[in-house]
Structure 1
Amino acid sequence: MDSPYAQELQVAIRAVQAAAKISQSVLSADDKGTVEKDDLSPVTIADFAIQALLTATICNGFPDDDFIGEESAADLRDNPLLLNRVWGLLLRLQDDEARSLCKLPQSPEQMCEMIDRCGFGEPGGSESGRVWVFDPIDGTKTFVQREAYAINVALLEGGKQVLSVVGCPTLPANAAGPIDNSTTDPAGQGSIVFAVRGQGTYVRPLFETSGEVVLRKIEPHAASATISDLRAVSCYHMLDSGVDDAHEAIMAKLGMTTKGCDFLAWVLRWVALGLGLANVTVWVYKKRERTGKIWDHAGAMLLFEEVGGKITDIDGKEIDLTAGRKLSGNHGFVAAPKSVHDIVLKTVHEVLREQGKAHLLA
């Protein structure tokens, strides 16, 4: 694939492959070194190690760029045993071929520095230049249960998505919908889904087995879809932040009688949309002050946009990736084919008003 971001794509794919090796080594373990963060969400030793790897690798290749990641190293500095376990995961990669083109931290302290370099990063405004955004493991709750998760790497320029590389260690490259948290690759191989602005969305196996890697370009399936073509991906009864009864009523009003794809991880929802296994999703938070987080969406949304999808919040506003680590300029998400996005958005408003939830609209 010829691309103006060929070097960035190569480095990001190699980093995601090495990160996947880390995640897979922890996935099978009973003790994943899980700790609870201030927002009550879990983080594992794999999250910390992957964020350190991604930051060190991308920083080595592009030292003038900025970085944002989900985690900070505070828990590691406060817990020497946990720190040593994370450092041990990185040491395992020293002789692994998957670390080709990757840069490892040289010490536990440098590892913590790499984690914090992006753990306190901010996207900046439209003049912010190049900013990489990492989610080392999106779907940590399902990862702990040995189910689906994703490794998200995004590049923004001036607050706009230009590159997305998503590692999906549990999903096959030839996945056929509907898929959900329990879906696994029978071959145990996994996949990488990636996109470059203006050049489409692609899927490939997670690792090269032999010979040339086979890329599959996803057809722009959302470019001309109609209401009767809609297939949903959502997250039913797995998170307490969303309005499940509204989500279900919206889909029913749009004519969808089956649940479709169902994922806890937001990145995997964008993957399902990008691959054409679904083409619509809606998310309404229970409170207006609840917002998305940049690492759950940046880059991964490009996968759907590059096949003809349109993404706004429930007020119809474009998603603002310059607002901060939290997407404070937006409330919720409405993603659908461009051709029917207005109809889906109108349906969201109708259902919320019918259910007495008009206060959730601007």
Structure 2
Amino acid sequence: MESEKYSKELDVAVRVVHMACSLCQRVQEGLVSTSSDQVKSKDDDSLVTVADWSVQATVSWILSDIFGCQNVSIIAEEDVQTLSKADSADLLAAVVNTVNECLAEAPKYGLQRPDKVLGTSQILEAISRCNSTGGPTGRHWILDPVDGTLGFVRKDQYAIALALMEDGELVLGVLGCPNYPMKKEWLSYHHEYYQNMSLSSPPTSDSWEKGCVMYARRGSGKAWMQPLVRGPKKLEWPNSARLIRVSSINDPALATFCESVQNSNSNHSFTAGVAHTVGLRKQPLRVYSMVKYAAIAHGDAEIFMKFARSGYKEKIWDHAAGVVIVEEAGGVVTDAGGRPLEFSRGVYLEGLDRGIIACSGATLHGKIIGAVYASWDSSNL
């Protein structure tokens, strides 16, 4: 039955992302400070933690175990070079320990645990298996093990993102957002602040405080959200899911606009110009990671714009899962020229026209595209 295509892949992806969320929360609880051995600096100055490598190893091992190593191609952010260096022995030991702790809990998510504890070489192999460069043919998983590592280290917003592409087309997307607040107004606060606030007001029985997994299958016209599996009591799988839908606001004056926190790889002054031209009145919501896509899919924001600074190239794992979820929830995602994003040309979003625009609907999207052209012409005079 055509409508059920990719249902097994989606089911496995949702479960493994739930596992990855749990792993990240455990690592985060142990992350006392950014000066600890658990954080390494990558060449591009972004932080890489035990969580990045551990999530990559876990996802790689589960997908390979279920679908067979020879059938699984994974495009992912981390490689094993840093981990394999002599001075990384403690870091590697922490990763091995973290992965095995996580895999031991696989049955809680309806997945098989390994027969025996995985050794260092098996874990390095699982990480290094994620070395695909994608392309227009075949089936490729696209993984960002911890998107928004700075948000993760600061105990703010971050995401675990997994998508599947077949013959150049995205077919499913899953986003784990461990700190995503269920109250829209808390998105603009630092996570620890609303954690303290939530202690003063007990949660109602039909809501959960924070943390979810959002997911969608291409062509279904539906996007879903589940609360995280948490606590010592075993939550029966399948977990409860509810449909999510983009906001119906199409007046720019009422719209909430998201952008990246850091301006090192995005042009805040240009987006401010576009926002002014189109009549956006609210202050931009600066959020780490693909949680910006989650906010649009969930109806908590209407617009996300990103215009890269010159020399920065967008990577497919920073957008793939979010794009599927926003589009299936009723939103629109294109480049600034109004064209669909191209995920089939390697690890970068090649041929991108100026930037990326995600909106809750076609009306707002059209207005933003028009404002981009107007602003671009005036800024390039």
TM beyond 0.5: yes
Matched, 1:273 2:296: yes
Tell whether the 8 Å contact from 1:203 to 1:217 is kept in structure 2 after alignment.
yes
Once residues 181 and 162 of structure 1 are traced to their aligned partners in structure 2, the CA distance between those partners, rounded to angstroms, is 33
Distance change >3 Å, CA 213–CA 18, structure 1 → 2: closer
CA distance in 2, matches of 1:165, 1:257: 32
User: Does residue 62 in structure 1 map to residue 49 in structure 2?
Assistant: no
The answer to whether 1:239 aligns with 2:247 is: no
Distance 1:80 1:152 in 2: 27
Query: 2:5 is matched with which residue?
Result: 4
- Find the aligned partners of 1:282 and 1:352 in 2 and give their Cα distance: 14
- 1:191 is aligned, of 198, 203, 212, to 212
Of the three residues 335, 340, 346, the one matched with 1:318 is 340
* Matched-pair contact (CA < 8 Å) for 1:137–1:149: yes
CA distance in 2, matches of 1:347, 1:55: 42
Matched, 1:207 2:207: no
Task: Give the conservation status (yes or no) of the 8 Å contact 2:246–2:298.
Answer: no
Cα shift at 1:201: 0.9
Flag the structure with higher helix content.
2
Could you say which residue in structure 2 is the equivalent of 1:135? 144
Measured at CA, do residues 26 and 181 of structure 1 come closer, stay the same or move farther in structure 2, by a change above 3 Å? farther
* Structure 2 contact 133–347 (Cα < 8 Å) conserved: yes
User: What residue number does 2:48 align with?
Assistant: 43
Q: Aligned in 2, Cα 1:248/1:98: closer, same or farther, shift over 3 Å?
A: farther
- Residue equivalent to 2:156: 147
Deviation of 1:54 after TM superposition, in Å, equals 0.4
Partner of 1:168: 177
The residue aligned with 2:190 is 182
Q: Equivalences for 1:6-155 in 2 at 5 Å?
A: 6-28=7-29, 29-30=31-32, 31=36, 33-63=38-68, 64-78=71-85, 79-96=88-105, 97-98=107-108, 100-102=110-112, 106-118=118-130, 120-125=131-136, 128-155=137-164
Give 2:368's aligned residue: 344
Q: What displacement does 1:175 show?
A: 3.8
Shift of 1:316: 2.8
Contact preservation (8 Å) 2:247, 2:296: no
1:260 & 1:276 partners in 2: Cα distance? 16
Is the alpha carbon distance of 1:190 and 1:3 closer, same or farther for their aligned partners in structure 2, counting shifts above 3 Å?
A: farther
Question: CA-atom RMSD, angstroms?
Answer: 2.4
Q: Tell me, in whole angstroms, the C-alpha distance in 2 between the residues paired with 1:108 and 1:34.
A: 19
Q: Report deviation, 1:180.
A: 3.7
Partners of 1:32 and 1:21 in 2: CA distance: 21
State the Cα distance separating 1:17 from its structure 2 match: 1.8
Amino acid at match of 2:297: G
CA apart distance, 1:310: 1.8
Matched residues, percent identical?
26
Secondary structure of 1:68's counterpart equals strand
Match of 2:355 among 306, 315, 332: 332
- Within 5 Å, which residues of 2 pair with 1:213-292? 213-219=239-245, 221=247, 225-227=250-252, 230-236=255-261, 238-265=262-289, 267-287=290-310, 289-292=311-314
Report the Cα distance in structure 1 between the residues aligned to 2:103 and 2:244, rounded to whole angstroms.
35
Query: Are the structure 2 counterparts of residues 248 and 272 from structure 1 closer, same or farther at C-alpha, using a change threshold of 3 Å?
Result: same
SS in 2 for 1:317: coil
CA separation of 1:340/1:11 partners in 2, compared to 1, >3 Å: closer, same or farther? same
Cα deviations across residues 138-196 of structure 1 (Å, max 9, x unaligned)? Answer: 01011111111111111111121111111111114x34246147245646651111111
Offset of 1:239 from its aligned partner?
A: 2.8
CA drift of 1:256 comes to 1.7
> What secondary structure sits across from 1:170 in the alignment?
strand
* Partner Cα distance (1:189, 1:98) in 2: 20
| Distance in 1 between residues matched to 2:224 and 2:258, nearest whole Å | 19
Secondary structure at the aligned position of 1:81 is classed as helix
Number of equivalences:
348
Q: 3-state DSSP class of the match of 1:171?
A: strand
CA deviation digits over 1:296-343, x for unaligned, max 9?
111211111112222222233321101211213214201222233232
Alpha-carbon distance change, 162 to 357 in structure 1, aligned in 2, over 3 angstroms? same
